[in-house]
Amino acid sequence: MKSLGSIRRDFAPWNDPNAKPYIQFDKVTKKFGDFTAVNNLSLTIFEREFFALLGASGCGKSTLLRMLAGFEEPTAGRILLDGQDLRGIPPYRRPVNMMFQSYALFPHMTVENNIAFGLKQDGMPKPDIAARVGEMLKLVKLEQFAKRKPHQLSGGQRQRVALARSVAKRPKVLLLDEPLGALDKKLREETQFELMDLQQSLGLTFVVVTHDQEEAMTMADRIAIIDKGEVMQVATPAEVYEAPGSRFVAGFVGNVNMFEGKIAHGEAGAASIDAGNGITIRTENAGDAATGAAVAFAIRPEKIRISSKKPAGAVNAIEGEVYDIAYLGDMTVYHVRLDDGHVVRASTMNAARITEDPLSWNDRAWVSFRPDAGVVLTR
């Protein structure tokens, strides 16, 4: 079976026309004075989905989350949770819980009492609260820190307390606002997988807001890319990366080489693109772009091969000069300046420790790629 990317998981309710949406943003608009934070946005999230809202800061993604939590009311449109319209329901009566970016741990309470806070509000009997708190502490591996106050914990421990507190009530939906933003890189990577395991084992629906594409790609089932209060694309991480829907998405997620041009000749998805200056790109992924249409050809750096001689039989091969090399350990990134001045980024995995005939600065080099390696973007 051919598939985009390399992930296979038997969970794709978005492809099932009979699947019942769990969270629905229905033409939601939110204005703060003259500023439109969210503009006529519609979005559907399914039960047990790990959904990421990805965008630059100020794009409106946090506003979406806060509207779901009940801290903001939409100016127009509806938000439905499990079929129920959330309008007018205050945050303390919504079956969703949020993990805050600042963690918002109550500084005057112990870890235990922080976690128990939500349960006490529900009037849960004391023994049940104690049992649940114990369970949560075990879940986040903080049993021996139960009596500590938040300031006696490290950043990673605080993050786990915040997480335990927000899942203690078993909410229908857990909202996470930049959950790993305050952690250092190593801890962040570990925690990403912990979060995924947690979501799987609890069977909750997670909606996470992040500006970190790697984080979104790692954790989420689907990603919504938000820009200026609008949804640019909703898709699985592999689709977002391999089949971006627009120039914006292609440029926002990962690195990309973009060639602007016109479809010179096309039929049944295959086309040649005239990218100017004598560069013609042949692709099999032109979709239904018509002949003469102005398009962008986008190709990821790792799908470009770089070699010192023109590869035999290559459909697409362009000559240029190496003008920058970045050695990153696991891979090497080459910047090749084509003869028309266009700079192409190509990356090569360093699968072997020793490279024969390595390329150097100012060497002449050929960049080549297969006709199915890139995508044609009309928007």
Partner 1 sequence: MNATWSRFNLTSIVLGFAFLYLPIVLLVVFSFNESKLVTVWGGFSTKWYVSLFHNQGLMDATWVTARVAVISATVATVLGTLAALTLTRYTRFKGRMLFSGMVFAPLVMPEVITGLSLLLLFVAVGLDRGFLTVTLAHITLTMCFVAVVVQSRLITFDRSLEEAAMDLGAPPVKTFFQITLPVIMPAIVSGWMLAFTLSLDDLVIASFTSGPGATTLPMKIYSQVRLGVTPEINAACTILIAVVAVGVIIASLANKRREVQRQRDEQAAQRG
What does the binding site for partner 1 look like in residue numbers (CB under 8 A)? 69-71, 90-93, 96-98, 100-102, 104, 106-108, 117-118, 121-122, 148-149, 151-154, 157, 165-166, 169
Q: How far is the CB of 25 from partner 1 (least distance, A)?
A: 19
Q: Which is nearer to partner 1, 153 or 344 (CB)?
A: 153
Answer whether 333's CB lies under 8 Å from 347's CB.
Answer: yes
**How many Cβ atoms from other residues are within 10 Å of residue 255's Cβ?**
12
Could you tell me the smallest distance in angstroms from the CB atom of residue 35 to partner 1? 15
Q: How far is the CB of 128 from partner 1 (least distance, A)?
A: 15
Q: Cβ closer to partner 1: 117 or 248? A: 117
In the complex with partner 1, which residue's Cβ is closer, 168 or 373? 168
Residue listed under structure tokens 């640019």: 232
Minimum Å distance from CB 164 to partner 1?
12
Give how far the C-alpha of residue 251 lies from the chain's centroid of Cα atoms, to the nearest Å. Answer: 13
DSSP letter string, 51-95: EEEE--TTSSHHHHHHHHHTSS--SEEEEEETTEE-TT--GGGSS
Cβ of residue 122: shortest distance to partner 1, in angstroms? 6
| CB nearer to partner 1: pick between 11 and 106 | 106
Q: CA 265 to CA 278: how far, in whole Å? A: 15
Within its chain, how far is the Cα of 180 from the centroid? Answer: 13
Cβ-based nearer residue to partner 1, 37 or 68: 68
Q: Alpha-carbon distance 360 to 182, whole Å?
A: 39
CB nearer to partner 1: give 166 or 332.
Answer: 166
From the number of C-beta atoms within 10 Å of its C-beta (0-12, 13-18, 19+), residue 327 rates as exposed
Three-state SS letters, 220-244: CCEEEEEECCEEEEEECHHHHHHCC
d(CA 290, CA 222) in angstroms, rounded, equals: 30
Which residue's CB is nearer to partner 1, number 100 or number 248?
Answer: 100
Cβ 171 to partner 1, closest distance in Å? 9
Residue 201: partners with Cβ closer than 8 Å, 6 or more residues away: none
> How many CB atoms are closer than 10 A to CB 100?
16
For the CB of residue 92, give the shortest distance to partner 1 in the complex, in Å. 5
* Least distance (Å) between residue 150 CB and partner 1: 9
Nearest to 43 by CA among 220, 246, 230: 230
Q: Which residue, 176 or 359, has its beta carbon nearer to partner 1? A: 176
